[in-house]
Amino acid sequence: MFTRLLVANRGEIAVRILRTAHALGYQTVAVYSDVDSDAPHVRLADTAVLIGEAPPASSYLSVKRIIDAAKRVGADAIHPGYGFLSERAEFAEACAAAGIVFVGPSADAIRLMGDKRAAKQKMIAAGVPTVPGYLGDVANRDALLAATREIGFPTLIKASAGGGGRGMRIARDESELPSMLDAARSEASNAFGDGTVYLERYVSDARHIEIQVFADSKGNVVYFGERECSIQRRHQKIIEESPSPNVSPGLRRRMGEEAANAARAIQYLGAGTVEFLVSGDEFFFMEMNTRLQVEHPVTELVTGLDLVEWQLRVARGEALPLTQDQTRITGHAIEARLYAEDPDNGYLPQVGTVLRWSPPSERGVRVDSGVREGQAITSHYDPLMAKIVTHAGSRFDALRVMERALANTLVLGLITNKNFLHRLVRHPNVQNGSATTSFLTNMPSDLSLPPRPPLLAVLAALVVSCAAATDPMTWQSGPDGVWMLHFEKPQAVMVRIERSRDGIVGEVGKERFHIRLRRYESYELAVEVDGVLSRVPFVITPSGVMLDTLGHYVEFEFKGASSAADDAETEGRIIAPMTGKIVQVTVAAGDRVVRGQPIVVLEAMKMELVVRSTCDGSLSNMFAQQGQQVRMGMLLAEVQMDEEAEG
């Protein structure tokens, strides 16, 4: 038994665990880094303990600091959430050594399933279907080539200690194998401290189906249907649903039984997820996550259960509340992950301050969020901001509710994938359930950002002119007058706003719009444009105005506003495309480089990005250094272009 629970995590999962713990009567403790002192999970907990600086290694990944925090405040149980230390066997062992209950499986189970090669061998022994592959020494190139020829190309290279798509590469043919191996091993080593990889047959156009399992200390194991997780970018999920629209009752039962067998084979305890690749009626074990999953809310909504409550009950020695025959699936649930990232620019993570945050509140919508207005989104942590989850009696209705929920989600201050998610859930392949894991590998053209309508610039200019007026509502019907605004970004444009007693006329280029201002509030306009009423959420910034309307998120900056990123298109100047850490410098000053050649490798928010030369020439200056923290827009290097290229 335990009475005081420490949550060794941050963000929406920490908030989620704290709320359930409070409902069960536990005293709660949050831990936080110095940039999270006013985060939602810190505000919610009964007690909070500072554990270090922003870099995870100095805070949320420090076993010692978290154990010390628990001892300082008398916490006798720790819930790891997901990510960070949740799948670190040494953390579970440290909890046991300190006499603290670890809300999760044993260290042995974590260690076994954390080694993907060993896990696969264990599942083969247990009779669980697995993807054909190679678990031998990848340094033995002769054996490796023989294995890949037997497996066939394309071949998937996976980090043994990995997860979340890191340390994973696809070799399309034999010529790509050496470079993809090196890249996977390097990323795995940087991410997990272990560069060991193994190979699997790449199952194209497969479905990613996972089974939620639960086990107690009495030997009971149950499974809760399945979750469809095929819609992914960079091997990471962004849309999940339960039940899958493509799994028959027979296949569901077979996968569920094999998932339960996998849990029994390793004497599992608590919540876990067994992930399968499904192709037709065949399914193959991929891995087992020894923790609660990000997408657990869809299972909670269709089962009516609180899986965190089950975790806490199992951790204090209780039997599972239900048997397999007592579990039920009702209706359909869908989850969309709201990330601080730019889907129209390679899903690059974004940093900034959340200036406006208004989640949807419709019936049938659940929002798990770990952000608040005024909070900084930094490069130190995963860019997941919130999970928007809908539940209805049918998949059709759950999708309809999701469309509306995303349309009514407001987040301003930095780029997110909100509008992309809105386009995604309306796509025919999502609507009919045919999207597979390869769906977003190459961005479908009909999901790309549509052209920005000229009206956006007019609305931005209207916001600025209204904000400058003493009384915007009387300003629009006052004496004749003209405003001329010149925006520099996202493109150079001149906007003319003319006011008269008959309303407002906005002109940009050859486009002309007749506007009536119906409502002006601190963060929103309501305007009639040629007789159509629209809401225009906005925020004013020192350099311009941000809008999220007409399906677009855009920041207009005034001419003359300075930004280092303005030089990003200048030939020969290598600019940091995002804030992060330089993990590798591949060239030195004086070296010859060609357009597209890697210059540095930048890491931020659980991903690595190769920054390449913009031209042919000689590297005249190298400013970046390995291990250096850089900000978006910072000059990393300069290339002296070849004379012919300049001419």
CATH of the domain at 523: 3.30.700.30
% residues pLDDT > 90 (the chain): 67
Based on the domain organization, do 351 and 462 belong to the same domain?
no
CB 495 within 8 A of CB 461: yes
How confident is the model over 401-430, as a mean pLDDT?
96
**In-domain check, residue 402:** yes
For residue 577, give the amino acid letter. P
The verdict on 459 and 547 lying in the same domain is yes
Arithmetic mean of pLDDT over the chain:
90
Instruction: Identify whether residues 315 and 299 lie together within a single domain.
Output: yes
Q: Is residue 113 part of a domain?
A: no
* pLDDT mean over 405-412: 96
pLDDT at 259 over 90: yes
pLDDT of residue 604: 67
Residue 458, pLDDT score: 94
Residue 302 lies in a domain: yes
pLDDT in tens, 306-355: 999 999 999 999 999 999 999 999 999 999 999 999 998 889 999 999 99
Separation CA 238–CA 417 (nearest Å): 10
Q: How confident is the model at residue 480 (pLDDT cuts 50, 70, 90)?
A: low
For residue range 551-560, list pLDDT tens digits in order: 999 999 876 3
Give the residue, 591 or 572, on which the prediction is more confident: 591
Q: Which residue has the higher pLDDT, 647 or 353?
A: 353
- 237 in the same domain as 173: no
Q: Is the peptide bond before 243 cis (omega within 30 degrees of 0)?
A: yes
- Examine the pLDDT at 646 and tell me if it is beyond 70: no
pLDDT tens by residue, 47-61: 999 999 999 999 999
- Of the listed ranges 15-29, 52-66, 463-477, 528-542, the one predicted with least confidence: 463-477
Take residue 375 and report the two structure tokens written for it: 């909070």
pLDDT > 70 fraction of the chain, expressed in percent and rounded: 94
Q: What is the mean pLDDT of residues 585-596?
A: 92
Has residue 137 got a pLDDT over 90?
no
Domain boundary among 540, 558, 576: 558
Are 463 and 480 contained in the same domain? yes
Rounded mean pLDDT of 446-460? 92
Q: Are residues 470 and 426 in the same domain?
A: no
Please indicate, yes or no, whether residues 497 and 586 belong to a single structural domain of this protein: no
Which of these three, 201, 230, 256, is where a domain ends? 201
- Which one is predicted more confidently, 348 or 477? 348
Given 166, 183, 201, the domain boundary residue is 201
**CATH number for 19:** 3.40.50.20
Quick one: 235 and 323 in the same domain?
Answer: yes
**Is the pLDDT score of 62 beyond 60?**
yes
d(CA 541, CA 86): 39
Helix (H) or strand (E) holding 461: helix 455-468
Cα–Cα distance measured from residue 430 to residue 307, given in angstroms and rounded to the nearest whole number: 27
Residue whose structure tokens are 């997408």: 295
Question: Phi and psi dihedrals of 165, rounded to 5?
Answer: 85, 0
**Residue 320 CA, distance from chain mean position:** 31
Strand 133-134 relative to strand 101-102, pairing: unpaired
Mean pLDDT, rounded, for 357-366 = 96
Residue 566: its pLDDT value, please? 38
Q: What is the CATH number of the domain that holds 136?
A: 3.30.1490.20
In the structure encoding, which two tokens stand for residue 110, read together? 């974590």
What is the model's pLDDT at position 48?
98
Asked if the model's pLDDT at residue 578 lies above 70, the reply is: no
237 touches 209 (CB < 8 A): no
Do 24 and 78 lie in a common domain?
Answer: yes
Establish if 322 belongs to a structural domain.
yes
> What is the bridge-based pairing of β-strands 4-7 and 27-33?
parallel
Question: Is pLDDT larger for residue 9 or for residue 1?
Answer: 9
Query: Which pLDDT belongs to residue 563?
Result: 32
Q: Mean pLDDT throughout 34-59?
A: 97
> Residue 437 domain-assigned?
no
pLDDT at 470 over 70: no
Q: Calculate mean pLDDT across residues 595-601.
A: 90
CA–CA separation, 397 and 255 (whole Å): 27
Residue 203 has pLDDT above 90, yes or no: no
Residue 116 belongs to a domain: no
Provide mean pLDDT across the span 5-15. 98
CATH of the domain at 240: 3.30.470.20
Q: Are residues 209 and 316 in the same domain?
A: yes
In a domain, 109, yes or no: no
Domain span including residue 541: 455-558
Are 239 and 162 within one domain?
A: no
- Residue 560: the pLDDT is 37
- Examine the pLDDT at 46 and tell me if it is beyond 90: yes
CATH number for the domain harbouring residue 571: 2.40.50.100
Token pair belonging to 10:
């941050």
Residue 570, pLDDT > 80, answer no
Residue 54 lies in a domain: yes
The more confident residue out of 145 and 431 is: 431
Say which residue, 309 or 643, is predicted with more confidence: 309
CA distance 605 to 581: 10
Place of tokens 């706003």: 497
Please tell me the total count of domains within the chain: 6
Q: Is the pLDDT of residue 501 over 80?
A: no
pLDDT the model gives residue 481: 65
526 with 549, same domain: the answer is yes
* Average pLDDT of the segment spanning 152-173: 84
